[in-house]
Amino acid sequence: MKNGALWTDISGQPIHAHGGWILQYGDAYYWYGEDRRDRNYVSCYRSTNLSDWEFRNHILTMDSPMRTYRVRTTLKLQRDDGGKVNLERPKVLYNEKTGKFVLWAHYENGKDYLDAAAAVATCDTPDGDFTYHGHFNPYGYMSRDCTLFQDDDGTAYFISASRDNADMHVYRLSDDYMNVDALVHRLWQGEYREAPAVTKIGGRYYMLSSFCTGWAPNQGRYAVSDSMEGRWSALRDIGDETTYHSQPAFILQKDGKVLYFGDRWGGNGEKYFESGYVVYPLIEKDGELHMLYTDESVL
């Protein structure tokens, strides 16, 4: 699997799971991501070794079942003119208490980026048909590029770019992961960070992000903290001035290795479908995080 290429699944078809996320559940890994083909929004692939991926399902589409679960959300999986909305950077956690797989994503109306909302969907299985519960602006705030993070005690966080991307908000989620429970941080005020991705190494929390330049890659940066709700460091550079030609999608830990998954975006329109993937190792040394460049993915 060459870094930057559009990888294929075990049937030889391109994997469309961009801006994605991998959830480890049972003895398998589930890779979720954007699939903008046809009436699809989010796809799910499964693997036991991170290299051989089996396509499982289009878990969220224009035709997904919808159910309101609280008052102030909007249920809209297609525009009034029948066109597609835009669901980006989907992330999924398993909630032990409810037994549900809960998906959060960035919602836009498909024409511009002015809705800046968070969307939620759930399912009883990792790769079944998800039920869509709508989009909303957390506490009224804009919410664009996003990620989830689940701490060891089950506490989960939704992290998203707000105020036209100027600030990075960190929300603690409610116990059932269905709503934000508190806005615990507004990080790096005015720094325009996007594409957040969090991991925990040796009891410390590391958050990677990109700068805000659309599909074009830029210098990745990271920060570190002793707790999700505590004080985060200033931003420090990681990788080179294009983050080795990628933008963060998520970070996965496997067998003691810390793996950075990034998108190498093709661009707008048809170019989007040429977007590929990279996996680079992250090394923590004396509290600093380093990204190693490799031609081949390190899976």
Q: Are 48 and 25 in contact (CB under 8 A)?
A: no
Distance, in Å, from the CA atom of 169 to the CA atom of 171, rounded to the nearest integer, reads: 6
Give the torsion through C-alpha atoms of 198, 98, 135, 181, to 10 deg: -60
Q: Are 185 and 136 in contact (CB under 8 A)?
A: no
CB burial string 238-255: b at 16+ within 10 A, e below: bbeebbbbbbbbbbbeee
- Cβ 210 to ligand GAL shortest distance, Å: 7
Q: Quick one: tokens of 62? A: 């224009």
273 scored as a contact of ligand GAL (CB under 6 A): no
Binding segment for ligand GAL among 68-76, 126-134, 212-220, 236-244 (CB under 6 A)? 212-220
Q: Which of 15, 16, 19, 170 binds ligand GAL (CB under 6 A)?
A: 19
- Cβ 38 to ligand GAL shortest distance, Å: 20
Comparing CB distances to ligand GAL, the nearer of 33 and 134 is: 33
Q: Please tell me the count of residues contacting ligand GAL according to CB under 6 A.
A: 10
- Cβ 261 to ligand GAL shortest distance, Å: 14
- Cβ 78 to ligand GAL shortest distance, Å: 19
Comparing CB distances to ligand GAL, the nearer of 119 and 195 is: 195
215 scored as a contact of ligand GAL (CB under 6 A): yes
Residues 126-155 that bind ligand GAL (CB under 6 A): 145
Residues 87-106 that bind ligand GAL (CB under 6 A): 88-89
115 scored as a contact of ligand GAL (CB under 6 A): no
Distance, in Å, from the CA atom of 26 to the CA atom of 158, rounded to the nearest integer, reads: 23
What is the helix, strand, coil percentage profile of the chain, to 5?
5, 50, 45
Q: Quick one: tokens of 263? A: 């998108």
Distance, in Å, from the CA atom of 228 to the CA atom of 156, rounded to the nearest integer, reads: 10
Q: Which of 194, 206, 251, 264 binds ligand GAL (CB under 6 A)?
A: 194
Binding segment for ligand GAL among 2-10, 39-47, 211-219, 224-232 (CB under 6 A)? 211-219
Distance, in Å, from the CA atom of 2 to the CA atom of 7, rounded to the nearest integer, reads: 8
Residue nearest to ligand GAL (CB): 214
Residues 244-263 that bind ligand GAL (CB under 6 A): 247
The contact pattern for ligand GAL, residues 61-90, with x = CB under 6 A and - = no contact, is ---------------------------xx-
**DSSP letter string over 210-236?**
EES-TTS---EEEEEESSTTSPBPPPE
- Cβ 268 to ligand GAL shortest distance, Å: 7
Q: Which phi-psi region, left, alpha or beta, contains residue 175 (left: φ > 0; alpha: ψ -120 to 50)?
A: alpha
Residues at the contact surface with ligand GAL, assessed by CB under 6 A: 19, 88-89, 145, 194-195, 212, 214-215, 247
